[in-house]
Each structure stands twice: as C-alpha cells, then as structure tokens.
Chain A
C-alpha cells in the first residue's frame, strides 16, 4: 500500500547514479563537506560559546559592573591566591633565575596583596625580635646589663619597612608612567604588580635577619651581601625589560637608585637592630680592671 511503501527505506537513486559516474569527485566533495561541516560545527560551537558568553556579558553588563572602590569585593580581587601560588612566588623571589621575569612568570596577571603585606609584617617582627635577642646575647656577660624588651623597636621597624614597601614602589611606578609618556619604548607594570614585586623581594631578608643573630662579623656582612644580591637581582630582572630601551643614562640612573635604596634598607636595618659583635667593643671592666 502507498502508506507502508512510503514508510519503507528508499535508496537515493540520484546519489547512487552520481556515485557510479564520478566516484572521486563525490567522495571528496562529501568529505570536504563533512570536514567543512565538522569545522563549522567546531567553530560554530566556539561561536556559540563565545556568543553565549557575549550574550551573557551583554545581559550581565547591564546589571553587573566591576566592583566599585568602596565595596568589599573590589579588595577581594587582590587576595585571589592559593597557598601553593604564594609559596611558589616566595620561592621565585628567593632564587631568582635570569630567564624568569618575576612579574611575567610568577604573577601572571594575578598580583596579590597577601604576600607583600604578610611578608612585611613578618619582617617587622623578625627584625625586632632578632635585634632584641642579639642585644641580649651580646651584653649577656656584662654584669651591669639589665634585659629589656625594647618594644619601641617594633614601632620603628614597622614604620621603616612599611614606608619602604609602600612608597618606593609608588615612586618607581610613577616614574615609569611618566617615562612612558616621554619615551615610547618604556613599558610599565601596574601599581599592584610593582608593590607585589617589592613585597616579595623583601622575603629574603626574613631568614637573613634570623641568621644575623650569629655574632660573627664577616658572616653578618656576607649575609647582607647575599641577601642584597638575591633581592636586588629580583628587582633588576623584573624592571630591566621595561627600561632597557630607554636612554642609557636614564636606565642606569633608575637601576642605581633602586639598588641603592634597597642596600640602604638592608644596611640600615642591620646597623640599627643588630649591634656590632663582641670583639669590636670589649666590655669596659676588662681594661686594667678600671672602668673606662
């Protein structure tokens, strides 16, 4: 009957004829069409995805803007790191390798404020505590010495470290922004990335300040030199690609100032918090039994 005949599967006679006539052409065209179809499916899938996303963003852009400066979510974006990322960044700042620019390799467009803030805080307390301990160890044998916690050193250390870690990156960023306007070859990182680099570069001073307890003079200066080298090289390797196309004088000036400030911080901390070792200042009562 007609109905059941219509329901039966029919061969497409025209296609079969065409296949018989020119097999290669049809097969390639079919395969091309198939591959085209596959590509189209793939690209249209991507387009669909992007289209969906763009649709979503269009939908959402009317409702959701980037969080304003005064909301909590704005600052949550600065703390979007996991434990292993923070540890990775600290490792990268302790062992700088010439090929790895800290900002490009470790930060990867995700700078955070957690690292700089807590590294600076730890450094403040480590400096104060180690300084106090070294003072105690140095004057221990002296009978006229009475131990005191010297708590005001925490305040001084705090002011010094936080000012350094906050103002110097700001100044450097401002300089680079200005220079970018003057000389087109100079690039710049964002302010947050600059602060981040400076904060992480201070992390090498934490073990150094603990090791400064050892009252051997040449070891202490060796430690300062090592810490300054490691920390300074992180900064230099990070900022070198930005300014190397600038004029020679400007490049040298910037790098010298960056390294000089860093050295000033290190030496200043060492001299203020850690007294000179014993054998430079013999205790007074040993000189011929008379007080000096």
Chain B
C-alpha cells in the first residue's frame, strides 16, 4: 500500500486507482454466504389458505390469543403481548359476564336495588374510556385501544371474585360469608390494580404516575364495591 502511494505521489501521470486491479483476495480466506434473494411470499396461496381454513381454526386462534392474555393478567409480568396485540374481545366477555352476574341484585322496589346491567356496562366502558383519556391528556405514550385493552383485561380478577361471591352467597349470607367475601374482593381488587399498574405505569411521565394511578384505583374500587354489596334475592 505504502509503495503504491509512494509511486502514485512520484508519478503524477498515472491514472487513479490504477493498482486496484492487481488486488486479489487471498485464497485462504473463505467467502461464504447466500447470494440468492428470498422472494417475498406474497403468493396468493397464503391468503387463500387463511380464507379457506376451517372456521374452527380461526376461532381457536382468537380464543388462544384471548386466553394467553388472561394468563398474562393473572401473572403480571412485563410482557408486550397485552400491549402490542391488543384486542377488545376479552374485555367485552368479562364486562358482559360481570354485568350479568351483578344483575338481579336484591330489591324491594325496582329502583332501590343493585346496579342494572346497563349501569354496570356503562360504568366499566365509560370509566375505562375516561381513564384512558386522562392518561393520554397527562402525556402518556400508550395508545387509546391499548389502554382500553389493559383496563378491560384487568377486570378478570374481579370477575373471578364475583363468581366466588355468588358461590359463597349460595352457601349462606351471614357474617362469616360477608367476611369471606370481603377478603376475597379486597384481594382481587389489589390484584387488579397492581396488574393494570404494572402494564400502564411505564408509559406515563415519571412525575405524574400517581395522577394516572389514582383514577385506576378509583375505577376498580367502585367495581369492587358493586361486587361486595351484591346480595342475592
């Protein structure tokens, strides 16, 4: 190289890069790799196959996704499945089942009773929307539907608590059953709040985390209150 430079500086008449054709790869350095470029598999066969697959496969795929998210909620770790691949099927199923179970609470008169189906539905969905708007207005980086998805899925522990409460109420409605229900509902409320906080807290600006977590706390507290005060007819 130095010799080439020296000769280049000495003889100004030589064309540039004259010596490059002399360069050759040494024989003992193996050159490996594929030169062929993989063709994008946008053949019509693939679209055709998902359209043509059995309905059972389509449904099972979505059910598996929902089930996987349920597992993520019950064991909250920092997983991106809930956030990245959001869906609203799970929250819908949970909300409807919770509202159905809460319906028909005791009443002497019809308006003095527990929350009706529509009230529970509205509280859950409207509450989730308001909390999402709140976190976005405070500067959160999470998207609207991701946040709805997380808040909806984290109602799962409370739905489990509702199921347990109804079973306990079948056994009896005295003080012991009340204490059991209280403990179960409080535990599930804490679980819900911690799970949703684990998913949502990272996307908030650091000095406003408490401002975002408090409405979530209030939301699950109200749902827990509705579950705890449910009395069978």
Q: Mark A64-94, 1 if CB is under 8 A from B, else 0.
A: 0000000010011011011110100000000
Question: Contact partner of B115 among A83, A86, A125, A149, CB < 8 A?
Answer: A149
Complex alpha-carbon distance, A127 and B52, angstroms = 57
- Whether the pair B225, A147 counts as a contact (CB closer than 8 A) is no
| Total contacting residues, chain A, CB less than 8 A | 24
Residue among A83, A86, A122, A146 facing the most chain B CB atoms (10 A cut-off): A83
**Is residue B229 contacting chain A, with contact meaning CB distance below 8 A?**
yes
Which residues from chain A contact B112 at a C-beta distance below 8 Å? 148, 150, 152
Complex alpha-carbon distance, A72 and B225, angstroms = 33
Question: Contact partner of A149 among B136, B218, B226, CB < 8 A?
Answer: B226
Which residues from chain A contact B113 at a C-beta distance below 8 Å? 148-149, 151
**Is residue A26 contacting chain B, with contact meaning CB distance below 8 A?**
no
CB under 8 Å from chain B, chain A span 94-150: 114, 118, 121-122, 125, 129, 132, 146-150
Which residues from chain B contact A79 at a C-beta distance below 8 Å? 134, 137-139
- Label chain B's interface by main secondary structure: helix
Which residues from chain B contact A129 at a C-beta distance below 8 Å? 225
Residue among A78, A82, A86 facing the most chain B CB atoms (10 A cut-off): A82
Task: Please give me the residue from chain B that is nearest to A115 by CB atom.
Answer: B211
CB under 8 Å from chain B, chain A span 126-183: 129, 132, 146-152
- Whether the pair A147, B231 counts as a contact (CB closer than 8 A) is yes
- Whether the pair A152, B111 counts as a contact (CB closer than 8 A) is yes
Chain B contact patch, size range? 20 to 34
Question: Contact partner of B210 among A75, A76, A83, A132, CB < 8 A?
Answer: A83
Which residues from chain A contact B134 at a C-beta distance below 8 Å? 79, 114, 118
Tell whether A82 pairs with B230 under 8 Å between CB atoms, given A122-B218, A148-B108, A150-B112. Answer: no
Which residues from chain A contact B108 at a C-beta distance below 8 Å? 146, 148
Residues of A bordering B, CB below 8 Å: 72, 75-76, 78-79, 81-84, 86, 114, 118, 121-122, 125, 129, 132, 146-152
Other than the given A83-B209, A114-B138, A149-B229, 17 more pairs (CB < 8 A) read A75-B137, A76-B139, A79-B134, A79-B137, A83-B207, A84-B207, A114-B134, A118-B215, A121-B218, A125-B222, A132-B229, A147-B229, A148-B112, A149-B230, A150-B112, A151-B113, A151-B114
Residues of B bordering A, CB below 8 Å: 105-108, 111-116, 119, 134, 136-139, 207-211, 214-215, 218, 221-222, 225-226, 229-231
Top 3 nearest A-B pairs (CB, nearest first) are A79-B137, A149-B229, A151-B115
